[in-house]
C-alpha cells in the first residue's frame, strides 16, 4: 500500500518552514544548528494569550492554533501538528487541548482543502503549501522548539501524518499515527520516531491490511517504532492518545 505520489521537494519544505538549509546532496540537508540542533527558537515578536486562536489565513477551510496555559514568551515549547480525518476539520484538534495544557505543547491544526488530504486524493500539493504558511504564521508569533516538532492524526489524518512525516523526517522528529489506512511517502528523509496504534476490530481501516503491514516494513527500514494494538473499532481511545503524547515528550 505504498504508492508513489508527487510532493514539494524536501528543500522547498525546509525553506518555507523557516529551517535554513546549508546544502542538499547525497548526504541530505545540513541545518543551521540554532534551528535544528536543540537550541531554543528566537523569542516571539509579540505576546499571545493562552487559548485557541484562528489562523485567519483563509475565509473558509482555515485552521487554528492553541497556546497552552503554561506557555511563556521567549521559552521555546514543543509543537504538534494535528491532522483531522476524512470529512473533518481542524475543530477535531480541540480534543487535544486539555493534554496540551497538562503536558505543555503548542497545537497547530489546518483544514484540508478538499474532503480529505491532497496526497490521498491526487498527490501532495495545496495542503502542504497551506500547512507551511500556517507553520510560518505560528512560529512568528510563538517561541517554538524546532527540535521537537511532531505530526499526528487519526484515520486519513494518520495516513497523511505518516506519508508527509516520513518524507520530512528531518523536520518532524516524531510521527504519531492513530489507525492509518495508507502509507505513501514520495521520498524519505531523516529517521523520526514513530508511534502507531490500531483497533483490532477496525472495519474502516482493517488492521491486517494496514498497520500490521506498515510496522514490520518500517522496522525493517530502521525506524524506531512503538506499536499499540487495542480491542476496539475505528476510534482513538483517550488512554492511547495520552500514552502517545506522553511518549513523544518523554514523560
Q: Which residue has the cell 505576546?
A: 47
Q: What is the pLDDT of residue 46?
A: 61
The residue extents of the domains of the chain are 50-249
Residue 146 has which C-alpha cell?
524546532
Q: What pLDDT was estimated at residue 219?
A: 97
As a whole number of angstroms, the distance between CA 160 and CA 249 comes to: 21
Residue 2 makes CB contacts below 8 A (sequence gap 6+) with: 183, 184, 185, 217
Strands (E) across the chain are located at 51-54, 63-67, 77-83, 106-110, 144-154, 174-178, 193-199, 225-230
Q: What is the DSSP letter of 82?
A: E
Answer yes or no: are the C-beta atoms of 22 and 40 closer than 8 Å: no
Contact 149, 78 (CB under 8 A): yes
Predicted pLDDT of residue 47 = 80
* Full pLDDT tens readout for the chain, 251 residues: 333 332 333 334 433 343 322 222 223 222 222 223 333 444 444 688 999 999 999 999 999 999 999 999 999 999 999 999 999 999 999 999 999 999 999 999 999 999 999 999 988 999 999 999 999 999 999 999 999 999 999 999 999 999 999 999 999 999 999 999 999 888 899 999 999 999 999 999 999 999 999 999 999 999 999 999 999 999 999 999 999 999 999 98
CATH number of 50-249: 3.40.50.1820
- Provide the 8-state DSSP code for 116: S
**Rg of the Cα atoms in the chain:** 17
Helix (H), strand (E) at residue 20 = none
- How far is 243 from 161, CA to CA, in rounded Å? 18
Report strand pairing: 193-199 vs 174-178. Answer: parallel
For the whole model, what pTM was predicted? 0.83
Element (H, E) at 232: none
Amino acid at each position: 500500500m505504498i504508492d508513489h505520489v508527487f510532493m514539494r521537494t524536501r528543500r522547498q519544505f525546509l525553506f518555507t518552514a523557516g529551517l535554513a538549509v546549508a546544502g542538499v546532496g547525497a548526504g541530505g540537508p545540513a541545518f543551521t544548528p540554532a534551528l535544528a540542533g536543540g537550541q531554543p527558537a528566537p523569542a516571539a515578536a509579540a505576546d499571545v494569550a493562552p487559548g485557541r486562536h484562528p489562523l485567519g489565513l483563509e475565509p473558509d477551510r482555515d485552521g487554528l492554533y492553541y497556546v497552552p496555559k503554561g506557555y511563556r514568551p521567549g521559552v521555546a515549547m514543543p509543537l504538534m501538528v494535528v491532522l483531522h480525518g476524512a470529512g473533518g476539520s481542524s475543530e477535531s484538534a480541540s480534543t487535544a487541548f486539555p493534554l496540551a495544557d497538562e503536558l505543555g505543547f503548542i497545537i497547530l491544526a489546518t483544514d484540508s482543502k478538499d474532503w480529505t488530504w491532497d496526497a490521498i486524493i491526487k498527490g501532495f500539493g495545496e495542503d502542504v503549501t497551506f500547512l507551511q504558511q500556517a507553520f510560518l504564521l505560528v512560529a512568528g508569533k510563538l517561541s517554538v522548539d524546532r527540535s521537537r516538532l511532531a505530526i499526528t492524526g487519526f484515520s486519513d489524518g494518520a495516513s497523511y501524518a505518516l506519508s508527509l512525516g516520513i518524507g520530512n523526517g528531518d523536520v518532524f522528529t516524531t510521527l504519531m499515527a492513530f489507525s492509518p489506512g495508507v502509507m505513501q511517502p514520495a521520498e524519505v528523509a531523516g529517521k523520526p520516531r514513530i508511534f502507531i496504534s490500531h483497533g483490532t476490530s477496525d472495519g474502516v481501516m482493517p488492521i491486517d491490511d494496514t498497520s500490521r503491514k506498515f510496522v514490520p516494513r518500517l522496522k525493517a527500514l530502521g525506524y524506531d517504532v512503538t506499536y499499540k494494538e487495542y480491542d476496539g473499532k475505528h476510534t482513538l481511545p483517550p488512554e492511547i492518545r495520552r500514552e502517545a503524547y506522553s511518549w513523544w515528550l518523554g514523560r
